[in-house]
Chain A
Amino acid sequence: MRHPGHWIGAVVLFICAAVFLEILVTNQNLQWPVVASYLFSPDILEGLGRTILLTLLSMVIGLAVGVVLAIMRLSANRLFRVVSWGWIWFFRGVPPLVQMIFWYNFALLMPEVSIGIPFGGPKLAAWDTNTLISPFSAAILGLAFTESAYAAEMLRAGIQAVSGGQTEAAATLGMTQLQTLRRIVLPQALRIVIPPIGNDTISMLKFTSLVSVLALPDLLYSAQMIYARTYQTIPLLVVATLWYLVLTTVLTVLEHAVERSFSVGETSRRAHTPWWQRLFRRPFARQREQAA
């Protein structure tokens, strides 16, 4: 045998896997019948829906703010650059959990939110902060702003990856700066950032479980509420785990589909990777491939 190490390793792994399977099947504490009975219960499904909504809303808002931040960051205007830099610095530095709790308690800092002339000028409209900030909006703010900082940095790299030659070519065709950005630069930048955005979406899905601190009944907190009542802790955590795995798998497949539809015509340059292999892809591996 040329690789005895491989064989020993394989045997050890096989034994571990067998033990793990045995636990899954025979350990009574897992209570599979209980898992099955809660898997599609209305409370769990409602929590699942809220988790999906939180993920999507935070990503959409985060990306939209991120595009603006990235453009500001690359702008010729120094004030724009500084503001964008500061925003990214702040929201990348503060953990989303801290942000959520902070936003939720925003009323303690600012009892009233108003639109009007600042520094004591007249107000056009004012709202009580406590009516604006619900657990849900506090969660969205915390998650979306964190994402905006990451998205801005990715998009900036994406925009910079589009060659200056193309921008000049567009200029000689008489395109304005906005037209060039919208038609030439952003479509390519977005394509470059699809893989990292896909990864971010999956991370976001997992980050949403933080909202349980705001007592917002997402997937995890719904499960927690049930086992607080019934003491069936493990089976309900298994229910949540299964759903998280389903969601991340679906997101991975979706990401693959989006990426493929965006890369029509470039397929000749790219090796085709099946989605099941991409489940385990290292983040940013694709970008390194492209750079090479």
Chain B
Amino acid sequence: MAGPLLKVERLHKAFGTHEVLRGIDLEIDEGEVMCIVGPSGSGKSTLLRCLNYLEKPKSGAVFLKDEPIGVRWQGDRLYEMTFDQLARQRRRMGMVFQGFHLFPHKTVLENVIEAPIIVNRTPRRKAVEEAMALLEKVGMKDRAHYHPAQLSGGQQQRTAIARSLAMRPELMLFDEPTSALDPELVGEVLATMHQLADEGMTMVVVTHEMGFAREVADELVFMDEGVIVEQGKPADVLLNPQHERTQTFLARMREEA
């Protein structure tokens, strides 16, 4: 395929008068893993949420395989999509949240088969088969019939990853997937994500885990105050940052670690 899988062009976003994103340009190729780092409040979550139109950008555009997200052309006029039209596009991008957001009234298995059955109308038996395979992959097969409240944070997050994967997304968005976890549970979630990356999944990961970024990312993006300050191979950005803001940020991260 020619061209990037996901393309972000001159993206701006403001909450009221507060400019949170001030002109973001990005390209993500198929199979690429991109990690986004930056200080709190720099707009990382907002950027990720603009990618699948959970937030509506003020200006600029996001393209998934050249298809604009959230808007469509009709003749020569541009229209905002309805929620249901958006839903068709959102299926193509999985998203994993800091707070898991599993459906608490459903078991692990039911969480995973919900969207395939309801949205894709996959026959239940096939959905269960595929879900069990996914749960095995994320190491949750033996907990398939537990409810989220009975699981550790790490287990919940791995379930959330399986739930997203069940829709066979073309790329996965992760917003600080390990930030809400006890330190001893971070590893298991990162390992699952590492495995996913090795299998060729395209991933955009907002994270504070520099070790993960160095090992897994193909591209590291450093954001501050709504702009991309620096971007490149993780080894380059981490070991040889060009900008002062990047240097300060990395120094502080090292202190905390």
Question: Which A residues are within 8 Å of any B CB, using their own CB?
Answer: 163, 165-166, 168-177, 179, 183-184, 187-188, 191, 265-266, 268-269
Give the residue name and chain of the B residue nearest to A188 (CB): B105
Which of A163, A174, A266 has a CB less than 8 Å from the CB of B90? A174
Indicate whether B104 reaches chain A with its CB closer than 8 angstroms: yes
B87 within 8 A of A: yes
Partner of B88, one of A163, A174, A269: A174
Q: Does B44 contact A (CB under 8 A)?
A: no
A172 to B114, Cβ gap below 8 A?
Answer: no
Query: For chains A and B in complex, what number of residue pairs have CB atoms within 8 angstroms?
Result: 76
- Among A166, A168, A169, A187, max chain B CB count under 10 A is at A169
- Tell me how far the C-beta of B223 lies from the nearest C-beta in chain A, rounded to whole angstroms: 21
Q: How far is the CB of A182 from chain B (nearest CB, A)?
A: 9
Determine the distance from Cα of A219 to Cα of B127 in the docked complex, in whole angstroms. Answer: 52
Which of A175, A188, A191 has most B Cβ within 10 Å? A175
| Interface secondary structure of A, over-half rule | helix
Task: Give the Cβ gap from B202 to chain A, nearest Cβ, in Å.
Answer: 15
How far is B54's CA from A165's CA once the two chains are assembled, in angstroms? 11
Alpha-carbon gap, A169 to B93, bound state (A): 12
Which residue of chain A has its CB nearest to the CB of B145? A265
Interface string of B152-174 (1 = CB under 8 A from A): 00000000100110010000010
Q: How far is the CB of B164 from chain A (nearest CB, A)?
A: 7
B89 CB to closest chain A CB (Å) equals 8
Q: Would you give the shortest CB distance from A179 to chain B, in whole angstroms?
A: 5
* A97 nearest CB across to chain B (Å): 39
| CA of A172 to CA of B164, assembled, Å | 8
A175 touches B87 (CB 8 A): yes
Partner of A166, one of B90, B91, B94, B101: B101
The answer to whether the Cβ of B63 comes within 8 Å of any Cβ in the partner chain is no
Docked Cα-Cα span, A265 to B149, in Å, equals: 8
- Would you call B104 and A188 a contact (CB within 8 A)? yes
Q: In the complex, which residues of chain B have a beta carbon less than 8 angstroms from the beta carbon of A269?
A: 149
B150 near A175 with CB under 8 A, answer no
Contact in complex: A268, B164 (CB < 8 Å): no
